[in-house]
Structure 1
Amino acid sequence: MPLPGTLLLALLLILAVHPAAQASAEKRVLLLHSYHAGMKWVERIHQTARHELQALQPEALVYTEYMDTKRVPFSPAYEQLLLNFLKAKYKETPIDLVLISDNNAFDFMRRHGDTLFPGAPVVFCGINFFTDALLDGHPNYTGVIEIFDARSTLEAALAIHPETRHVYVINDYLPSGRIVTEDTRQQLKGAFPGVAVEYAAALTMTGLERRLKALPAHSLLLLGAFFRDADEVFYSSEEVVQRITAATDAPLYGQLDTHFGLGIIGGMLIDGRSQGALAGRIAVEILNGRDAADIPIIRSGANSFMFDRVPMDRYGIDPALLPLGSIQINQNTAILTPREQEWLREHASIRLAPNPDAPPIEFFHETGTYRGLAADFIALLEKKLGVQFQIQRPANWTEAVAMARERSIDLWAAASPTPRHGEFMLFTQPLIETPTVIIARSEARDRVGMQDLTGKRLTVVADSPAHEQILNNHPGDGLLATPDIGSALRKVSLGEADYLVADLATASYRIEREGITNLKVVGESPYRHRWSLAVRKDWPVLRDILAKGLRMITEAERRAIMDKWVRFATTDQPWWQLTRQQQIALGGAMALTLFRKQWDGLLPTPTTNGVEASEWELN
């Protein structure tokens, strides 16, 4: 009896989704790599190619084989073994497409592909020294070629190191290494007058190290393809870079991303990820029905300028010298030398004593937590350096100074360098710079200078930079030192002192928070507060470690800290006419400008004539 139309349709739908019915529609893809699993170059190609296949052709079955020809010589005997193995393994498994990486797999497939996988199109990537003649007789081959761009890399390196007079080019003497060397000769011939170019001979690793140690001054290294030395000993990319950088202080540039992140500064690198991704997309087009012969070979665009901030920091390289659009890694990481790492292991406890009453720079919240601009920088440094500081709370700044002098603490987070403090502390570059101002009661006259304070009752925060500067430059004046900024402000407000000399940021913040209404800024002193990290003088290694950490703090991170404590909108007005609210924002704006100048080497932000002030709101 004929089946009803609806039942027949349902059966057809069931068959359509049944695995047995789907089997004929499944596509089988073989990824054939010239080298071994775990090699960074191979893994980058493999991961990105497979990602493209799975994302755009999720039903495809993917097989993977590694020829291992970096560690095993690609001899005729070994090639025959590979052929026999693949023939036996895939005898009953038809392959719809082969995606190959690097020249040995490319040559292998050109010789044996029709036997192993008849009719299967081939997509290649990572192919060196490609010519169209290599595809004669292989119309179903297409892919991405690999170009060593020694000239672009060296142009960038010489712009960064203009003092260079000698370039040492390193490749091995495997077939691929010899070809890279010859190609480099052609690219560099006559390109850089005044710079001698030397090509490494066929050396053992020990011989290479001896030559590196004997290089002349102002040398630079260009690393291409080096995997096996003259003794036929295989070396991983990690070992190659480590042995080279240990043997010489000459800056090392490269051409392969397999060396990237291991110690080379950078260069115009052949990017395995780009190679794999482009090859994967081509493979998907073919699986979707496009003829391989209609897909043009990708001959450019898979190389990128890439640089590593860790070796850049070692050589003091300004990121502004990098080619436009360069990719940078490790911008947010401080990498320490073995000596610095050992020092931190030996000094697991580093004690920090903040100024307990210097808001918004640093202070202790009523809950007992350490807070403020400096506290946020300390928290960032802990993350970037992998350390944890032990916070100890002094009664006041005078006690914090005494603790540092007695070596019962090791670090200040925000202190301004002075001759007295310099006797027992070392200072980093400033975090923040703020002006020092003169504060009086509201009825006092405007525009007072330090020369007008002779014979007046002055107050300062004890052991502050203003205290030391007044003692040194205005001896004999009646000077009352108070333990903290709040006490100093109250003495002026209550008429116990005529003037306070203090930094603008902490004074304005405290005035606003305590609601003191009878004080105003009447003048500016020539002194400035340069808030810096300070470490005990017998620990210079810690100062160097902290300086590295500070250089790794990004502009976005610094701006976020400023925005956390002060929000402001600019308005042009002379500073002495500002309200208390505007004065603290001025201090914040000046600090933010200094951030940019101190750490990143950025140009100062252009300003209009006069001082930019701000309406602000404390968070």
Structure 2
Amino acid sequence: MKKRETYTLLRNITLILSVPSLIFAAVLFLRFIVLGIEKPKAVQAPVEVSHRVLFISSYNPLYFTYESQVRGLEKSLYPRGIEYDVVYMYADERGQAGIDMFYNFLKAKLKDQKKYEAILLGDDDALKFAIDHQNEMFPKMPMVYFGINDYELARKASERPNMIGFYENDYLEETINLAMQLFPKRKTLVALHDQSSAGLSDIEIFWSLREKYKEYAFVDLDATLFSQNDLILLLESLPNDSILFYMTCYSDKSRNVYSMLSRTSTVVRSASVPIFRNYVGGEGMGILGGVHIDVEEQCEKAGEILAEILNGSKIESIPFVEQIPSRTTFDYNLMKHYNLDFSILPSDTVLYNRPVTFWEQYGKFLPAVGMLILAMLLFLISSNISRKIATELARSLQESRNRLIQREEELQHQAKYDEVLDIYNRRTITEWLHNTMGKGDVYSVIIIDIDNFKMLNENYGHSLADSILQYLVAMIRGLAEDGGWKLARFGGDEFLIVIPNERISMDCESIKALFDVLRSPIPLGDETLAITASMGASCSDEITAPDQHIINAEGAMYEAKVRGKNGLVIYDDDMKKKAQEEIVIKEKLQHAFDNDGFFMLYQPQIDSQTKKVSGYEALVRMKEPGIYPGQFIPVAERSGWIWRIGRITTELVIKQLAAWRDGGKELHPVSVNYSSNQLNDHGYVGFVEDLLKKYDIPPYLLEIEITEGLFLEKSALADEIFRRFKDLGIRLLMDDFGTGYSSLGYLTYIPVDVIKLDKSLVDTYLVDGKDSFIKNIIHLMHDLDKEMIIEGVEEEWQFNRLREFGADTIQGYFFSKPIPADEAIVFQTK
């Protein structure tokens, strides 16, 4: 009885205290709500348009500074009643021909529309254009320029009549100084730039600092000298003690122009060193930080100056602006990642990704929440005291029941879900698709395969590889939950996704989101890992059964692997037709294997000085009409039959050499092609040796053509085969030089005697202004004691030029296409 009285007293006390606490919490909440309501702003009528100007942009709407320029101009022009039109020069993409085209376009536009009172000029190319054509196209029109990287150009323009503006001072040196302070132990400074005005200005400043910082190594990476793949390889191989300065670099050697987002993604995914940037753009995307001008503020001030001029101010009285305030931005997470000292940064530094503190987010209403919690706590204590004894027994019984239910759910879960990734397994998703989707439903089936996942297992171990898969599943699961997708593990590193109510396309939002997830760097402790994936998809068509869509998607995924990985292929009628054609070609190949269905053609190789035949390349053909090498060779590669073709072609060539000899013909070396898939034919070298002995053919008359990529793999198996060829006295030729990595450095150690320059390099560089590149390669190969065969020569002037450059051998349609053996052995140049 005494215990009950004690509980009653405690209950009454807590109830009495909870009521005023609840009232006080309500008062605090009301005060917070009232103070937090914003008063409506007065609606202002738009300013009447009184002036119209023309903005000439050097580049295009996707250029990384364009949006900031527009925001700044609109902030200063629109409130002052100034409207503007924009024309784009695309100067970074089209070269001089594009500028000439732009001249004709703008001349016609200004002739037909004489309505502009002034000109705005964005970046260097627009200013140069305006200077060149000021008197002709813009007489007496005031012009305000901004974004000019060439100081002398900006200064001289300010001295011309009716011109004034801003020099876009470069904060590269400040960025480099800040990087040095943050990373005092890193002594290699790498500059990534292109040949744009900004890029050239940056690299000039960069090199000017070398004398000032003699203890540092300065490295120059000009993006216009490399392909996208070459640039990625260079970024991946940067030294561990380096710092990368990502400047203006949106073009490659093929004149492809990349957006800021695309190029930034490539740089961040490829480089594993700290990345600094002295331009706006890329914040929060993996750039550590940097110092740059505020483009928006610069353009806002340019608009203000233009407004002053239109309102009567003399342009001569307005000073040339040489200095724009800087803006320092850094990524909080990356500062933490590199364990850097925040005190080194300027006090006005903008930090991206800085987490909001608990007090910043919740401090205003914590007192009210505290009082509410206190009131609720007191109320709960009062309630729990009354129910404590009665609920204890019920809780015990409920726990026993819950354990039974939980065990049953666990068994059901294990049968339906993957044990490691906790998503549907293959059987479950197959049954779900079969039972849920009919032929008339709209849906898409996607199969994802992680590229080179076997290498991850070997390099990191199965445990970490599983963690990588779990990370990916967590990211994809977020997309699946938002979109109502079904996600399953289809195999070891394969996933299957069903997207209901959508037939996906190559550029749909679902696919973009998937690629964003798959291509995002994966954190591994202090490092990050970049992976790629190949995807195949099949969309419902009201005909195909759901089970067949899985098969189709899997086939499309394998096609994506064949096309170079890291992409998506959607199953279509062409693939279905291709699969059917491949079945036919396989049947024809099998018949050819069993019935002597192959023959050889020989393309003469001509000595550039004597114009006489010096050798031949042997090219295999099928006797079956209408089946060409481009069709049956890939099928043989995929089917594992290429080794059989390799042996057949080798024997046909050696037998032909013997027939020519027995016929009293003069013999020249004949080269045969060797595929990387022939590495698995471990007896091939012995097979060649036996044939040479059987037909009594000297080894120097047989040459082996190997593609560039096989030399670069540097596998022990490949090295052993190359050594055995050399021991036999068979010369090795590198085929297709110039289509792959094409680094000159590895040519000093690979066992190759002859380099065959690919036709693509001849077409690209054997032109006026570029042909010194071909000449230099030929001379370099001779310095390395290697011969040069130039492929794809089709014109007499090409032959004459290459002969002048010292090329050893010429091969191409200018002399002869591949021809039968009896024509080849008597072939003579005309």
TM-score by length of 2: 0.37
Greater share of residues in strand = 1
Greater share of residues in helix = 2
Q: Which has the larger radius of gyration?
A: 2
Which structure has more RCO (C-alpha within 8 Å, separation ≥ 6)?
1
TM-score by length of 1: 0.49
